[in-house]
Structure 1
């Protein structure tokens, strides 16, 4: 069962398809939704809404529409957890394809296949992104879309319009996506110059709809989720612990759960020799700013999560530099041979950890003890080792 953040995303999408609105009134009293944390809904007048951002529900409309045609509303709501996993898994499958086609332009076919496989099986895209309709799952999909477009050498007008709309739409999915969409928008201004108007106009339209939606429902320019969380970031008293935690703790560290990402350091060190230097600098900036925001967040460990969920949407950017780092290694010299062997071991370890976390309930049950912040540092009880290590493929 997905927790708090993702529980109401699927019913919201069903409501949009069936009722043409985002309220949850018709689902609040159903037996199937009593376990969905009703305190994570927001009462506005006589209607109830998901407390968390609504963007993911809109992205899920094609999948939810198909599910409703096949199974009907009652069955989809009754099996909301499974339906949510199906939607999220389809997002990650699409993301893997976007990674392949985007990386192929930069690195060639073989490296693109490797990148798509690693993304699918050795990153939080599997252990978190595919398990529920988290905000991070939807953000991850959008970031892969951005990479797919940004690796193109030329743009058609309709591509710029779509890109602009999605850059504006990203705040619907998760307010913190501005640390990625903002720099990308500035990058496009310098890249396109006169053509930027085809990005600006749809972005303004998307943002305008966002503001109108919030004003209509909440009477404010931003949703309640944003207003209640804005004061929880930039908490620098615990910044050092947060930074170390999201990078290196056994419970939430991105470099512990996907150690092959460490090879991205080699890729970063080679930015000056990179033919796509400006694009790599953009992706590095996105990584740094997002890490800065999450490290300063008072709940940097992400509460009830699997591994580094709050950094999941950075996986494509980490992968960009990791592939570059691996490709920089030659077959000659003991140092490079040693690093290539280390790369293979790191990739295998990452895949084992994330595959297991996606099919075995043990790592999820690790959260039920509580006290995730302190336990995130416990090397005697790391989340990825929790459980009986039996493979439950039907989970």
Structure 2
């Protein structure tokens, strides 16, 4: 009987072969479902022009926004005879097929545009994670590649930026595709030149990636100097297309919509904030990145010096650049949005970080996914409306640990599961807000800075403030569009005749809206108010619009300060005392 010696060992083949493309496609499909599982688009000002450019390409075969007057400055500007987006249009071009399919199913109105944009962005993000899976799988066992891709997609701002048509998803897709080319070039140098196409795509999607891409391009040229002409040739079609767009719409191939003078943040402020800010820090929202960075260092020490150096230098250069951006915090978004494009360069080495500390890496990965899931299912811009209105130039709220977005939404305990549906040719978002372990009662009052649900007769549940409604001085202050209070009539109270009583002070019109998860529309009742008011709104479930009740200003001008809200039978007092 022979003895097997080390020289007889069959070497592992993952480094030369990698995962099969079919497994990457299946992974992308699973991740796409996960990214859209919350059901609702989380739109913002920046993605809206790109969504409308995609719609314009489908409807009118052009890039202008003339048919979308709702996109105003600074998100659009007049160039020649047309209004155009200030942002790169590569994401709109790539998303146009998704918008074309969507337009055949539902109208591309405000909600339809946002949902189509979310689907396109989620598709790009899922594909990016699948490509990272292929890249990691050529260096590490397939199981390492699989969990790395999942953590990358669901434990970073890749998830949050997939909720609307930001520039990042397509840029990240380009970076991940470039990593596949770079890793494959270790065995076949022809792939080094092919990296030019995805690198150019990353810059075309997001011009701020120019430094990141430049560092990678220089590194490729140094490692494979004979492939430099091919690198340029592969990049040329995308570069020429971008320059042609600039020439047609801005009058010069070197002129574009973004202002170059926005890199004005003090040195160090943005860089530190992008790492450590309780509201926007990478180490706060994606703590597992610590192990990815440690893995990069470990790969360098183990001999993979060129790859680790190239990725590390590109990520570092990107961090320094975007830290100088005046809005380094990324505006209304969940987490360090501006660092998203550099994450593939670090997560390529996450398995090496796992080798150093498996349990710590697993714990940080789980925490990172939990933080991003909180954003996907709970984030609704309410933190910005409360903490950043009015805007303070120094942004002290970004450094307030006790009132950070993560702490705010975790304490709020509100999740917003949503199901998009088509009704009369339009998208309807069927939302079912749930306050986890929330109180029940029949009356809502307001203390110094919080609402209280009390009363022995449990007629309402899932009570929470909406949009910018703010509790101050014992009142709920409604000042903006759709600021309001939400409550759900409990199942046990729906067979009874009830009365919604509102006490407060204001001017304008207070609206009471009734809807249900399956309701096609909201049933509104308007109550004009001037000065002190006591509103008695009859509620019978059988004739109502549904069990979900909103008290709001809607779109109407005016103000309202609510002192109490009660849901009780018509002839009973509001303060019901429980008998012993």
Counterparts of 1:294 and 1:317, CA distance in 2: 16
1:79-158 alignment to 2 at 5 Å? 79-127=112-160, 129-152=161-184, 153-155=186-188
Measured on the aligned residues, the alpha-carbon RMSD in Å equals 2.3
- Asked if structure 1 preserves the Cα contact closer than 8 Å seen for 2:55 and 2:108, the reply is no
Aligned with residue 261 of structure 2, among 195, 208, 231: 231
Summarize the Cα distance change of 1:390–1:168 in structure 2 as closer, same or farther, 3 Å threshold.
same
Counterparts of 1:279 and 1:366, CA distance in 2: 40
Counterparts of 1:211 and 1:18, CA distance in 2: 24
Summarize the Cα distance change of 1:156–1:239 in structure 2 as closer, same or farther, 3 Å threshold.
closer
1:193 aligns with 2:225: yes
* Number of the residue aligned with 2:14: none
Aligned with residue 238 of structure 2, among 206, 221, 238: 206
Shift of residue 270 of structure 1?
2.1
Aligned with residue 291 of structure 1, among 282, 303, 319: 319
Counterparts of 1:125 and 1:41, CA distance in 2: 26
- Asked if structure 1 preserves the Cα contact closer than 8 Å seen for 2:128 and 2:177, the reply is yes
SS in 2 for 1:52: coil
User: What 5-or-longer segments of structure 2 have no aligned partner?
Assistant: 1-41, 419-430, 432-580
User: What 5-or-longer segments of structure 1 have no aligned partner?
Assistant: 29-33, 330-338
1:222 aligns with 2:269: no
1:368 aligns with 2:398: no
SS in 1 for 2:415: coil
Counterparts of 2:367 and 2:111, CA distance in 1: 36
- Asked if structure 2 preserves the Cα contact closer than 8 Å seen for 1:254 and 1:308, the reply is yes
* Number of the residue aligned with 1:7: 48
- Asked if structure 1 preserves the Cα contact closer than 8 Å seen for 2:285 and 2:368, the reply is yes
Question: What per-residue deviation string (whole Å, max 9, x for no partner) do you get for residues 347-369 of structure 1?
Answer: 2211111011012135x321223
SS in 1 for 2:340: helix
Summarize the Cα distance change of 1:65–1:150 in structure 2 as closer, same or farther, 3 Å threshold.
farther
* Number of the residue aligned with 2:401: 379
Shift of residue 37 of structure 1?
4.5
Ranked by relative contact order (alpha carbons within 8 Å, sequence separation 6 or more), the top structure is 1
Shift of residue 263 of structure 1?
1.6
Aligned with residue 340 of structure 1, among 342, 358, 368: 358
Aligned with residue 375 of structure 2, among 343, 357, 361: 357
* Number of the residue aligned with 2:63: 22
Aligned with residue 389 of structure 1, among 413, 430, 436: 413
1:308 aligns with 2:330: no
Summarize the Cα distance change of 1:75–1:83 in structure 2 as closer, same or farther, 3 Å threshold.
same
Shift of residue 105 of structure 1?
0.6
Larger radius of gyration: 2
Shift of residue 287 of structure 1?
0.9
- How many residues align? The count is 370
- Asked if structure 2 preserves the Cα contact closer than 8 Å seen for 1:4 and 1:37, the reply is no
- Which structure carries more strand by proportion? 2
Shift of residue 170 of structure 1?
3.0
* Number of the residue aligned with 1:179: 211
* Number of the residue aligned with 2:37: none
Summarize the Cα distance change of 1:269–1:156 in structure 2 as closer, same or farther, 3 Å threshold.
closer
